[in-house]
Amino acid sequence: MAYFFNRFFFVISTGTLMAVTVLVYIQDEVGRSWGYGICSASMFIALVIFFSGTKLYRYKKCSGSPIVHICQVVSAASGKKTAKLPSDISLLYEDLPEASRIHHTDQFRFLDKASVVTEDDYRQGSFMMNPWKLCPVTRVEEVKKMIRLLPIWATTIIFWTTYAQMITFSVEQATTMERTIGHFQIPAGSLTVFFVGAILISLAVYDRFIIPLCKKWRGEPGKMNIMSASFVETTNDSDYSSNVFDHFLSTGFTNLQLIGIGLFLSAMGMAAAAVVEVKRLSVAKKYNETTTLPITVFYLIPQFFLVGAGEGFIYTGQLDFFITQSPKGMKTMSTGLFLTTLSLGFFFSSLLVSIVKATTGSSDKQGWLGEHINKGRLDCFYGLLAALSFFNFGLFLLSAVWFRKKTVKQAPVTEIIVKESTIEEKC
């Protein structure tokens, strides 16, 4: 699956590169109608290819909404908040076959009350299983697993906030800088070529150089897999360090390590952006009346490259992490968790810009951000983002350490026969 994600994002980035280069050139030199026509034809061909594989796709029957399952566990646990947890975990309710069970964990014990069997679960001497009042241990553990993902989920939001700056303020910076190569002027919006190029280079280097080098060092030939299918979990720190190192030599970075690399590179990208902006503003003070400043736009390449390379790592790392670490019954939520980090990152960017404008500016004075970029302090804004990114990176490291620490208790095999159910779960 991880092998697929790497190729998946590489192909997407290749399409983006074609869009900001070839397609932009066709629209400017030939005509916009040709550009729109090529896009329409490409989408039509993609749809034909997609539907041609309909018979080959694997279909799974819907087993209920993950949101409903989460609400059932919370409702059942809240309804039994006064119930006492048994000292023997084998007394907790479980009705799934052994092969499908998730073993009980000690985290979030308050949710275990959803699996406590009480007198209210019996009516007229018969056991009446109501999923809103009693949930099997496996269902509770699925909710626990989703909760354990939330700290990692929260610490990846800031990356997409820094990403938003690459397509807004960095492009605005480029409009004020020298962009000519000979007689050709680079469009400010086309600087995203360096951004997309960094993604392609980072994925290719990791896939074709770092992984084979590790395999050669370890001396284990075989088919290459760019990252782990899951994060190694153990309760012994020394064993964990050894396992992670051995895993890296055989398959490369784990998904959490890929996310960490992406967060660190984005923080470095914001720091580089702040340094470059200090240089650009110093030139702007000397040439107040000049529309195009005598400073080359290639000064912006480091920030584009660092954040772009970071996206290459964090995109594949996030997808692999959320899909492989989500419980089997809630896989449909995994891609949703990833996409919410992206959307919330852009929302936080807008919120942060509004707060900075309100706190640093006034009716008679422009603050850090304003209509005239040469009169603002974009370097301070970038510095703020760099500080937030490094702080967030520290939180991510703590979250990653906490994520791998869990204690699993395996209960003796027990079976409760459900004689009658009054509520049926439907998709």
Convert the pLDDT of each residue in 115-145 to its tens digit.
888 877 776 566 777 888 888 888 888 899 9
Whether 59 has a pLDDT exceeding 60, the answer reads yes
- The length of the chain is 427
Whether 239 has a pLDDT exceeding 60, the answer reads no
More reliable by pLDDT, 4 or 378:
378
Whether 421 has a pLDDT exceeding 70, the answer reads no
Confidence bin at 371 (pLDDT 50/70/90): confident
The overall average pLDDT reported for the chain is: 80
Q: How far is CA 153 from CA 15, 96, 259, in A?
A: 27, 29, 10
Convert the pLDDT of each residue in 299-324 to its tens digit.
999 999 999 999 989 988 898 899 88
Average pLDDT over residues 49-69: 80
pLDDT at 203: 85
Whether 419 has a pLDDT exceeding 50, the answer reads no
pLDDT at 370: 77
Least confident of 118-122, 185-189, 238-242, 310-314: 238-242
Pair of tokens at residue 196: 């997309």
Least confident of 60-74, 328-342, 405-419: 405-419
pLDDT at 380: 92
DSSP code, position 128: B
- Contact assessment for residue 111 and residue 140, using Cβ atoms and an 8 Å cutoff: yes
Average pLDDT over residues 41-59: 87
More reliable by pLDDT, 381 or 14:
381
Confidence bin at 373 (pLDDT 50/70/90): confident
Convert the pLDDT of each residue in 82-117 to its tens digit.
888 888 888 888 887 777 788 888 888 889 888 888
Whether 425 has a pLDDT exceeding 80, the answer reads no
Whether 80 has a pLDDT exceeding 80, the answer reads yes
Whether 63 has a pLDDT exceeding 60, the answer reads yes
Q: Return the percentage of the chain with pLDDT > 90, whole number.
A: 22
The reply to whether the predicted model has a pTM over 0.85 is no
More reliable by pLDDT, 19 or 231:
19
